[in-house]
């Protein structure tokens, strides 16, 4: 199990590194978007390649940061229900979700995205818009994201198995997501405001 945990730590470190670096592309996308809007308003000139680059950059961030989101337990879930369940049940829900839903989904999507990308690459597929970008680099993102998400899913299964066996601490016992922390802070502030009114 220690060897598997070592693999899990390596996957976590790799996806964290990618997530931290790729997330900065949001800043690049905002700069390109603002520059494009300013040039369009002032000079009445627009560029399809810059418009498409904004979409591609957003896609890069959304797809390649998804494993980092899963790692940090920031993916969408119903926290109100999840946090009210016993730790052991939460562990089983996570394990079943990863094994029966996440891994099959990523494998099917990977199986379908490889030929999707290869066809686009072999045809050197270009944008339908004049002056647009080539399409195959953007289509490769689905395939790359599936590989990274598959690896992170394996890492999460390893960690969940170790937690259930008591080898490592249960992350559900101590972890509070940013969303849940915001909800708790909002509840605290509402209670303070209510107390001040009375």
Q: Where are the domains of the chain?
A: 2-197
pLDDT score for 77: 65
Residue 46 tokens read as 């627009």
pLDDT for the residue numbered 78 = 62
Partners of 37 in beta bridges:
none
Coil, helix or strand at residue 58: helix
Q: How far apart are CA 41 and CA 183, in angstroms?
A: 40
- Give mean pLDDT, residues 95-110: 93
Higher pLDDT, 188 or 175: 188
Distances (CA, A) of 95 to 44, 118, 138, 157: 54, 33, 32, 6
Q: What is the pLDDT of residue 177?
A: 55
At residue 37, the pLDDT reads 87
Nearest-5° Cα angle at 186, 90 to 78: 25
The answer to whether 180 touches 98, Cβ cutoff 8 Å, is no
In sequence order, the 6+-apart residues with CB closer than 8 A to the CB of 141 are: 56, 59, 60, 63, 64
Whether the per-residue pLDDT at 23 is higher than 80: the answer is: yes
Q: What share of the chain in percent tops pLDDT 90?
A: 44
Predicted TM-score (pTM) of the model is 0.79
- Evaluate if residue 76 carries a pLDDT over 90: no
Cα–Cα distance, 194 to 190 (Å, whole number): 6
Residue 119 is predicted with a pLDDT of 94
- The alpha carbon of 65 is separated from its chain's Cα centroid by a whole number of angstroms, namely 4
Under 8 Å between Cβ of 51 and 137: no
């Amino acid at each position: 199990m220690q060897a598997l945990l070592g693999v899990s730590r390596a996957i976590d470190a790799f996806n964290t590194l990618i997530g931290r670096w790729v997330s900065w592309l949001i800043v690049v996308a905002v700069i390109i978007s603002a520059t494009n809007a300013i040039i369009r308003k002032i000079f009445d000139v627009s560029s399809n390649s810059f418009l498409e680059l904004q979409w591609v950059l957003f896609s890069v961030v959304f797809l390649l940061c998804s494993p980092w989101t899963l790692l940090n337990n920031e993916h969408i879930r119903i926290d109100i229900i999840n946090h009210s369940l016993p730790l052991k049940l939460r562990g089983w829900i996570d394990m079943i979700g990863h094994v029966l839903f996440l891994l099959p989904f990523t494998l099917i999507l990977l199986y379908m995205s490889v030929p999707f990308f290869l066809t686009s690459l072999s045809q050197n597929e270009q944008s339908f818009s004049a002056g647009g970008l080539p399409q195959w680099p953007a289509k490769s993102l689905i395939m790359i994201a599936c590989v990274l998400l598959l690896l992170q899913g394996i890492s999460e299964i390893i960690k969940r198995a170790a937690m259930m066996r008591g080898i490592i601490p249960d992350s559900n016992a101590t972890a509070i997501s940013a969303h849940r922390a915001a909800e708790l802070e909002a509840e605290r502030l509402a209670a303070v405001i209510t107390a001040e009114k009375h």
